[in-house]
Structure 1
Amino acid sequence: MNIKRIRTAGLVVVVAMALAACGNLKNSSFGSNSTSTTTTGSKTTTTTGSTDSEFYQGVIKNGRYTTSKSRGVVVAQNDNVMNLKSFETGLLDVSKKQFSTSKYVYQEGQYLSTSTVQNWLGRKSKDNAEGLNPVNNGKKDADTRNPIYLQQLEEQDYMIQSGSKLSLGGVTVGLGMNSVDYYTKVQYGATYETNISDTVLTAQGKKMANTVLQRLRQKSALKSVPIVLALYKQSSNDSLVGGNMIAYAVSKNGSTTITDWKPLNWKNYVFPATSESKNSGANSNDESDFSSFKSHVQNFFPNLSGVTANAHYKDKSLSKLSVNITTKFYSETEIISFTQYLATAAKRYLPSGVPVEITVKSANGDVQSFLARTAKGSSYYTHVFSDQGND
């Protein structure tokens, strides 16, 4: 198969571990306060239950979470890990437009295998007729070579529960498209870049999405169910935030082509702005609020390496704020005091009415504490991790 190196990332496992460490699933896309069990023959299917109408229930079969058959398969040329996370969460948000959390139960993709996704992500060639990326034309110049357009692909299944049975109600497939294609002219040589315009990226994505749709419809279980196709624009390697969902479409009644695409005005920004991120589309009031928060936090504890935030916008309105704080101290009493102060400062200075997450890490990457608030909440959930400092 003529394809750049492929890697598989266990995203669900990582997310589950992080949520378990905080002891709080309410801020994820899934809740788990209660369960619902159905039994068919000797097999037992359990749903995780939900703590909020905003979150999907998940599927557990025979006591095990149903993992994806092609989880995290990507072309390993883009090293921005933020793309992996924002692609997955963005795809969930798109799915909610078609598959209501009150009606549908979430299941990891079961219809696309790892080998299938690997072939689809590859270049089309004599050995890989299913490759969605263009053939290698042998050219090395950034403007004349055929770049890798499609970086990652993910399937999400949405089930309908009726009595003691779960049946497939629909599928979402996301296509992660490169804005920059990284390549080498010789093995282990210097890395070069081919920039891909939004116009070309979108056109290639829509073309590939129709091919994917036709292939999905050939599977008996997917012949007539609604299928959502979503396009995601990958951010570059040097970006401090992940990419954005840019468009989606819904195929109903077994249709095999899509022409009615709906654009999505979703953007991610870094606070404070950097030379690479001008934040021209961010709300100046939101950035000012964060600046006040940062100033007060740094005055309270001077032993900080950095205070930044990822701001997520939908239709020019802030939808989520993720704050990252790196400390230089390791004393557990300092961490406790700092976390208590953060809860007070965040409530006073950060924008209200949106979900906020604050992660405090040491310089070596250990998570020291975590704070979170829901969009409707006023107070912050806090957790200080023990055994992060000196023994």
Structure 2
Amino acid sequence: MRSKRLYVFLGTVMASILLLAGCGNLKNSNISSSGTKSTTTKSGYQTTGQSNSSMYEGLIENGKYKTSAARGLTVSQDSNTYNVKSFESGLLTLSKKEFSTQDYIFQEGQKITKTMGEAWLGRQSSSDPNGLNPKSNGKTGETTRNPIYIQQIEEQDFVQQNGSKYNLGGISVGIGLNKTDYYTKKAYGSTYQTDIPTDTMVAKGKEAANKVVKRLRAKKSVGNDVPILIGLYQLAPQDSLVGGTYIYYGVAAKGSDKITSWHKLNEANYSLPAVEDEKTGSSGDATAFSNFKTNIQSFFPNLSGVTAQTHYEDGKLKGMNITINTQFYGETEIMSFTQYVATAANKYLPSGVDIEINIKTVQGEQAFLARTATQKKFYSHVFGSY
């Protein structure tokens, strides 16, 4: 248990951000154990401090961190857990485009309640007039039914300090969109799917975004003086080895109850090695990973698998998350292997990008390595058995 707690602690302070599915968004963690000191005001608010300029400080009220009641809301359970992680971390990265980490302090979303979020994700009906999804037409055919377009929702708030007070300065909302809607025709029955055209998916997302803006504006605690950023996230299929990506974002400026200008994003996630004919991003990056994999497998043959997830923005590699599964878990073996992995990673893997490497066995996490885009060498830690 102690080693697990240590892992969480180390993950918090590491300055490695990967907007990949399946990786802990370490750099975006809001609790700092180093860097600037936290501050406390007479009003009972405290900030967590900031360990580097790319991270938000977090807000603590009366000694407690306020969580979001609507966090993690989704229409149905998504078997692709990578979607959940990249949905949240990607929204925080988008927020930095509008809300600077130097001018704003992060707070979990407080305006969308669980009841509100559940109603918004429902189908529109007489009992749920606020549903963002279309009414059921009573049909169950894959091409004849009305699908679920809006799958999940996430809110993040950003406050600004004014003397001893902290005022809401901005809101970001992520809207998860289905490219493929999975459904059953009867309880516990077979799963079917409706494929949604991209143009239709985007149009429904933008329509829902403006409804969300208007509803937030109607709340007295939000009003018209707070900019609202909306990000549209395309979920990856349930059987994908990576998560989805944000495809558009827009901002409803102060005084506006709608988004008039949308920005198209060019992001992509890939898995390595490629499965069958799937794309891999840059062939050079794929080759670098292949050389790394071959090298460590030749040195330590008892490896169950070496896989990676890569994240690209505008065609450029931004991050890589590598998982190494081993069949051995002797502490001295893990220590030697971790040292060798660090050497091989420095030699073969691309420089100038954020990289995380997790070494696992059937016993759980054994070691962790990381290097940010600005660092030259990997940080590593082997978890003890105590």
Structure 2 length as normaliser, TM-score?
0.92
Q: Which residue of 2 aligns with 1:266?
A: 267
The alignment status of 1:239 with 2:228, answered yes or no, reads: no
- Can you list the C-alpha shifts for 1:224-245, whole angstroms capped at 9, x where unaligned? 2000011000001100000000
1:382 to 377, 380, 383: 380
Q: Which residue of 2 aligns with 1:19?
A: 8
DSSP 3-state at the match of 1:323:
strand
- Can you list the C-alpha shifts for 1:158-183, whole angstroms capped at 9, x where unaligned? 11123322111100001000111111
DSSP 3-state at the match of 2:188:
coil
**Residue pair 1:77, 1:182 contacting (<8 A) in 2 also:** no
Q: Which residue of 1 aligns with 2:328?
A: 329
Unaligned runs of 5+ in 2: 17-26
Q: Which residue of 2 aligns with 1:10?
A: none
Identify if the C-alpha distance between structure 1 residues 23 and 91 changes in structure 2 by more than 3 Å, giving closer, same or farther: closer
Q: Which residue of 1 aligns with 2:128?
A: 128
DSSP 3-state at the match of 2:98:
coil
Q: Which residue of 2 aligns with 1:12?
A: none
CA-based RMSD of the aligned residues comes to 1.7
Q: Which residue of 1 aligns with 2:355?
A: 356
Offset, 1:379: 1.3
DSSP 3-state at the match of 2:160:
strand
Offset, 1:113: 0.7
**Residue pair 2:39, 2:48 contacting (<8 A) in 1 also:** no
The letter of the residue matching 2:214 is Q
In 1: Cα distance, 2:167 partner to 2:142 partner: 47
In 1: Cα distance, 2:81 partner to 2:7 partner: 16
**Residue pair 1:86, 1:243 contacting (<8 A) in 2 also:** yes
Q: Which residue of 1 aligns with 2:254?
A: 253
Paired-residue identity, %: 49
Offset, 1:198: 1.4
Q: Which residue of 1 aligns with 2:38?
A: 36
Identify if the C-alpha distance between structure 1 residues 23 and 113 changes in structure 2 by more than 3 Å, giving closer, same or farther: closer
In 2: Cα distance, 1:196 partner to 1:234 partner: 12
**Residue pair 2:134, 2:147 contacting (<8 A) in 1 also:** yes
Q: Which residue of 2 aligns with 1:225?
A: 226
DSSP 3-state at the match of 1:74:
coil
Q: Which residue of 1 aligns with 2:149?
A: 149
State the number of aligned residues.
369
The letter of the residue matching 1:200 is T
In 2: Cα distance, 1:54 partner to 1:16 partner: 24
Offset, 1:220: 1.6
Offset, 1:109: 0.3
The letter of the residue matching 1:235 is A
The letter of the residue matching 1:24 is V
Q: Which residue of 1 aligns with 2:313?
A: 314
In 2: Cα distance, 1:62 partner to 1:327 partner: 45
In 2: Cα distance, 1:304 partner to 1:136 partner: 50
Q: Which residue of 1 aligns with 2:24?
A: none
**Residue pair 1:78, 1:182 contacting (<8 A) in 2 also:** no
RCO (CA 8 Å, sep 6+): is it higher in 1 or 2? Answer: 2
The letter of the residue matching 2:259 is I
**Residue pair 1:305, 1:363 contacting (<8 A) in 2 also:** no
Q: Which residue of 1 aligns with 2:279?
A: 278
In 2: Cα distance, 1:88 partner to 1:16 partner: 22
In 2: Cα distance, 1:196 partner to 1:108 partner: 31
Offset, 1:185: 0.9
In 1: Cα distance, 2:15 partner to 2:312 partner: 21
- Can you list the C-alpha shifts for 1:106-161, whole angstroms capped at 9, x where unaligned? 11001111111011111111211111111111111100101111111000001112
The letter of the residue matching 1:334 is E
1:371 to 360, 363, 369: 369
Identify if the C-alpha distance between structure 1 residues 22 and 263 changes in structure 2 by more than 3 Å, giving closer, same or farther: closer
Provide runs of 4+ in structure 1 moved above 4 Å.
Answer: 15-18
In 1: Cα distance, 2:323 partner to 2:273 partner: 12
- Can you list the C-alpha shifts for 1:173-213, whole angstroms capped at 9, x where unaligned? 01000111111111111111111121111111001001111
In 1: Cα distance, 2:230 partner to 2:13 partner: 31
Offset, 1:374: 1.0
The alignment status of 1:193 with 2:182, answered yes or no, reads: no
Q: Which residue of 1 aligns with 2:116?
A: 116
Unaligned runs of 5+ in 1: 1-14
**Residue pair 1:217, 1:254 contacting (<8 A) in 2 also:** no
- Can you list the C-alpha shifts for 1:277-324, whole angstroms capped at 9, x where unaligned? 322xx1111111111111101111111111111100111111111111
**Residue pair 2:148, 2:178 contacting (<8 A) in 1 also:** yes
